[in-house]
Structure 1
Amino acid sequence: MILRPIGKSFIICLLLPAAISCNSSATLHEFKIDGHAQGTTYAIKFYAVDSLQVTKPMVEALLDSLNESLSLYKDGSLINRFNASDRGVKMDEMLRTVVTRAMEITKDSKGFSDITVQPLVAFWGFGAKRIETEPDTTQLPEILKCTGADLIYIKRDSLLKKKPCVKIDLNGIAQGYSVDRIAAMIERHGIENYIVEVGGEIRVKGKKKPSGRMMEIGIESPADFEDDEIVLKKIITADKGAVTTSGNFHKYYESHGKIITHLIDPHTGRSISNELISVTIYAPDAMTADGYDHALMGMGMKQGLEFAEKNPLLDAYFIYSKADGTIADTATTGFYQLFKKEK
């Protein structure tokens, strides 16, 4: 089946056989868990002795705890308490982990990824209150005074801000972290072969059973930006690691002939506008992949490709629009090795 998560700017689908026989000598059986969480869908497939090793209530209890800490859409969540505060909040382990990694990625990407963009996301109409008309950009200089990674810092067990107007948005990294937390829970229960997907962010380990075939992940691409038509672009195979994508053709609106996407350049405060349509990242864990995919979108084709080639944690696949309007793609050397070999 093809999983098409709701609410992602770009869709990655798992290519799964309709059924897998469990009649081999192995004692592992295929189990699936799926549902809705974090404003999107999730789907888990694993191979285990019995279905009680990991259950839907266990998964949803974990997702609920993540929401209590990291969700902007959960009233009273820890992130919302931070955003509403004048000074900051005492962190739990989840917020500390995600914010610490986000700050590392901000520094490494020279600010192309920055969790303090929440005021800008809201300004452009992609927060809790949606708009579909370009706002008055004369307000941008004042809003930019409330953004920037230098305006937040960690002191002992607290996340603090230098200005009351500073707010953070973890949507660009928290789903990847959710995937990693589910994967860790699955492994704690002795399961070594699985696929975890939350909102299109994917982590895999092991192989399909009993066939022993590699896990397959399909990357989708827009056939036509205006009509939002989707076609399968590439298939990659992996037995470990994570794959996430950031793209500009699902969450956007058109105002006065201009396309406004939800991807914001923290440097300018404006919607990203370059030749890139999407960036797919392969990394050891989903939080790392999720944290970098938006950053590479902001860098643009040349800089993003060079950055990914030099980063030992990343491989990347780029879909972009050429000067003549046609769509093309390219990838890092390592990502090319992931493409499914045609027989």
Structure 2
Amino acid sequence: MPITRRRLVVISAALALLPSAGRASRHASKIWTGQALGARTSIRVDHPDSAAIAARVVTEIERLENILSLYRPESALARLNRNGYLVDPPFELLECLSIAGAVNHFSGGRFDPTVQPLWAVWAEAAARGGSPDMQAIARAISLVGWEKVEIDPARISLRPGMALTLNGIGQGYVADRVAALLGAEDLMDILIETGEFRALGGMPNGADWPIHLQAGGLVGLRQRALATSSPLGTTFDAAGRLGHILNPLSGKPVSTMWRAVSISAPAAAVADALSTASCLLEDASQVELLVREFPGARLELAT
């Protein structure tokens, strides 16, 4: 299946839990469709207990949305952004922010979850059919900076006006948590897709999961994850020139040579964040240096 950066998110949790390699399945696929991560979502399961497996995955996604979603008013992240602090933050939010902080550090601040005020400025201007003025951008930049976030297990605190976004890491993190849920039940040979890919084992026939990159090439996945970021995959303008990945220093959509960057890693959250950060780097050698800081991570394609 090709990787595309799109608003439609498909979660194929247990896409092919086949009874045995080389035989046709005796069990009809169980398909669930609904909303998750702010997008249309589906789960396809081929397994004797497909309905129960799908139900557990849906419950886990729902639980994670109530922690990580920007758009649910009572999610942990939304309450943090609204109040400027969060007491006794959930472990999952702390873990996701810990990964984000590591990528922020090794990317020289290019990956920065505090860009949400910038995103809001650009999105509001786009809704009016234009671009934000320099004063609005400057005000938003003053609210950006990972070093301004205070995090400990008992409390997360933001400075007034700051807000966090988990775009660029959240979809990968959800894939990791779904994988952990299924792996704890000793389920294997599963491909999970949440906009990023996470493989539990390989295919039921023993081969790696073949992921065809939209920009060309194929990556085989076995017990690892793959993420692709495209600066112009989502844009703020009808002409498609102002991409959704924002430079936290300039406050503007990244001006980059990259059409797409694909990175694999043992964890989907790491691959997700690294692919986003890489879109803000200037050449493949910089991407390679960043990726080397994360054990098991690998640059698959930069074009």
Quickly name the TM-score band, shorter chain normalised.
Answer: 0.7 to 0.9
Distance in 2 between the 1:124 and 1:313 partners?
35
Aligned AA for 1:94? E
CA, structure 1 residues 183+42, in 2 after alignment: closer, same or farther (shift >3 Å)? farther
Partner of 1:268: 250
Partner of 1:215: 209
Which residues of 2 match residues 30-179 of structure 1 at below 5 A? 33-36=31-34, 37-42=36-41, 50-51=48-49, 54-125=52-123, 130-161=127-158, 163-179=159-175
Aligned 8 A contact 1:192 1:205 in 2: yes
Among candidates 265, 278, 283, match of residue 283 of structure 1: 265
CA, structure 1 residues 190+152, in 2 after alignment: closer, same or farther (shift >3 Å)? same
**Aligned-residue offset at 1:220:** 0.8
Partner of 2:196: 201
CA, structure 1 residues 193+90, in 2 after alignment: closer, same or farther (shift >3 Å)? same
CA, structure 1 residues 119+287, in 2 after alignment: closer, same or farther (shift >3 Å)? same
Distance in 2 between the 1:87 and 1:243 partners?
33
Distance in 2 between the 1:51 and 1:13 partners?
15
Aligned 8 A contact 2:122 2:236 in 1: no
**Aligned-residue offset at 1:207:** 2.6
Q: Give 1 or 2: higher helix fraction.
A: 2
Distance in 2 between the 1:155 and 1:309 partners?
26
**Aligned-residue offset at 1:206:** 2.1
SS at match of 2:174: helix
Bigger Rg, structure 1 or 2: 1
The alignment of Structure 1 onto Structure 2 pairs a total of residues equal to: 300
SS at match of 1:66: helix
**Aligned-residue offset at 1:54:** 4.9
Cα deviation digits, residues 213-265 of structure 1 (max 9, x gap) = 221111113xxxxxxxxxxx22211222000111023311437x782111001
Aligned 8 A contact 1:46 1:191 in 2: no
Unaligned runs of 5+ in 1: 222-232, 321-343
Partner of 1:292: 274
**Aligned-residue offset at 1:160:** 1.0
User: Structure 1 vs Structure 2: percent identity of aligned residues?
Assistant: 24
TM normalised by structure 2 equals: 0.85
SS at match of 1:183: helix
CA, structure 1 residues 305+126, in 2 after alignment: closer, same or farther (shift >3 Å)? farther
Which residues of 2 match residues 19-34 of structure 1 at below 5 A? 33-34=31-32
Partner of 1:341: none
Aligned 8 A contact 1:30 1:45 in 2: no
Q: Which moved more, 1:301-310 or 1:138-147?
A: 301-310
Unaligned runs of 5+ in 2: none
What CA RMSD, in Å, does the superposition of the two structures yield over aligned residues?
3.4
CA, structure 1 residues 29+281, in 2 after alignment: closer, same or farther (shift >3 Å)? farther
Distance in 1 between the 2:284 and 2:258 partners?
10
Distance in 2 between the 1:276 and 1:114 partners?
19
CA, structure 1 residues 308+144, in 2 after alignment: closer, same or farther (shift >3 Å)? closer
Distance in 1 between the 2:108 and 2:4 partners?
32
Aligned AA for 1:83? N
